[in-house]
Amino acid sequence: MRVYLERTGGFAGMSKTTKVDTTAIPQETAKQLPQLLQDSDFYNLPDYIDSSSPKPDSFFYRLTVENNGETHTVSVGESAVPNNLKPLIEWVNTAAVSQNLS
């Protein structure tokens, strides 16, 4: 399974893309991903989530999961990230940093 997280925006308008391939990280870390996907209801989230009151200089996330030939992408403004999606975003960042994959 592969997960891509693109973060754009912010004060400087910088873009950062992070990729995690579960075959390239420790099995203990990789086995957390299916549970996070289930807990976030990721595959049932809409393609686009935004806040009715976006904040200036906030981040925008595009999270893509590829699994067994299937792909699902969710794009979400920082102020609209659902609480159930935050642990998944944090996991991608942590898994990538710990393996120097970002």
Confidence of residue 36 (pLDDT cuts 50, 70, 90): very high
* Mean pLDDT of all residues in 68-86: 94
Q: Which domain holds residue 73?
A: 2-98
Question: Number of folded domains in the chain?
Answer: 1
Confidence of residue 34 (pLDDT cuts 50, 70, 90): very high
Distances (CA, A) of 18 to 48, 56, 84: 19, 23, 20
Is pLDDT larger for residue 12 or for residue 58? 58
pLDDT score for 54: 65
pTM score of the predicted model: 0.86
Q: Write down the mean pLDDT value for the chain.
A: 89
Residue 53 confidence (pLDDT) above 80: no
Confidence of residue 102 (pLDDT cuts 50, 70, 90): very low
